[in-house]
């Protein structure tokens, strides 16, 4: 991991920058400010940000279900100017470490089938494809449902 990348819990003061990244990465599929605020403050799990040389470069929201003892990467995004620099990997590493600490059995996520770089990253971290979700995204794109057994 690049030593210039720091992953830490989100602060409410990060919301505007997180929304900039969310909109840049997801367009019509982006969460609203209200949805993101909920994930940051009320959802069970952890919400982390990555800073690259002090600049907010990405985030991950891992939502947990104690009932099922699993987690779900509800959202992960890296600002376009920081892609390919280890930010996504650092975020996933920290989320997976958190999942181990709280003894989750698995982490689930969905990813666009045409997002080769994200799929590659997830597979490097040990996620496997388990199914296809048709018309998962607003624009009708399909998604892989992936899982990481812990």
Please state the domain extents for the chain: 5-149
Cβ burial of 145 (10 Å; 0-12, 13-18, 19+) is middle
Q: Tell me: pLDDT of 2 over 70.
A: no
Average pLDDT of span 83-88 = 92
Residue 128, token pair as written in the block: 């496997």
Q: What pLDDT is recorded for position 3?
A: 57
More confident residue, 97 or 137: 97
- Of 89, 42, 49, nearest in space to 63 by CA: 42
* Residue 128, CA distances (Å) to 56, 121, 131 in order: 29, 11, 9
Helix (H) / strand (E) containing 107: strand 106-112
pLDDT digits (tens, 9 = 90+) for 24-78: 998 888 899 999 999 999 889 899 999 998 899 999 999 999 889 999 999 999 9
CA distance 48 to 28: 23
* Neighbouring C-beta atoms of residue 61, cutoff 10 Å: 23
| DSSP annotation string for 29-40 | GPPPHHHHHHHH
CATH fold label, 5-149:
Aminopeptidase (3.40.630)
Q: What is the rounded average pLDDT for all residues in the chain?
A: 93
Q: What pLDDT is recorded for position 132?
A: 97
């Amino acid at each position: 991991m690049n030593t210039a990348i720091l992953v830490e819990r989100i602060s409410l003061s990060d919301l505007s920058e997180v929304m900039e990244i969310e909109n840049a990465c997801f367009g019509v599929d982006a969460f609203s400010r209200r949805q993101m605020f909920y994930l940051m403050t009320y959802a069970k799990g952890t919400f982390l940000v990555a800073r690259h040389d002090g600049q907010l470069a990405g985030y991950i929201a891992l939502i947990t279900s104690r009932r099922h003892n699993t987690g779900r990467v509800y959202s992960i995004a890296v600002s376009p100017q920081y892609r390919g620099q280890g930010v996504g990997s650092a975020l996933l590493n920290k989320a997976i470490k958190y999942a181990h600490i709280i003894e989750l059995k698995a982490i689930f996520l969905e990813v666009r089938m045409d997002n080769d770089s994200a799929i590659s990253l997830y597979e490097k971290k040990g996620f496997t494809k388990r199914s296809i979700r048709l018309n998962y995204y607003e624009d009708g794109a399909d998604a892989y449902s992936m899982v990481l057994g812990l």
